[in-house]
Structure 1
């Protein structure tokens, strides 16, 4: 077991950048430890089972957080801009009452 895990830290940093999740939230959700990211950056030991748990959390989060896209206009379904979509066939766009 290595004292420092630069690959894991780099992967967590990439995950945080992509997801917009804070370090503290990540630590709480992945490990029930709000200081987990700070501590591993400070060279906290990480057991192989802990690394597996962290990587599994990131993979599950990424899979569940993939935005759903409209098949007509490619807007994210959770994006308010879809309501103003100018594509006539878009079933999600809100239209003015005639």
Structure 2
């Protein structure tokens, strides 16, 4: 939870959803293993829209508003990471 990317995305979640994020360990596998192996960047997270229980199943779907809100969270997180903690 102390990693810069976690704090940055948590701030985005707080600003968009007005609540603290849920911190969970995902049951799946993601591209973080490649980012760590090739780029030697070890502070990675998985974040995105949708309902985890629906992922990678027949009839998987994500709502448009969920996509937009997720993009806003990521934009805030990137702004914090690239411009600093006080960025708005």
Greater C-alpha radius of gyration: 1
Q: TM-score, normalised by structure 1?
A: 0.31
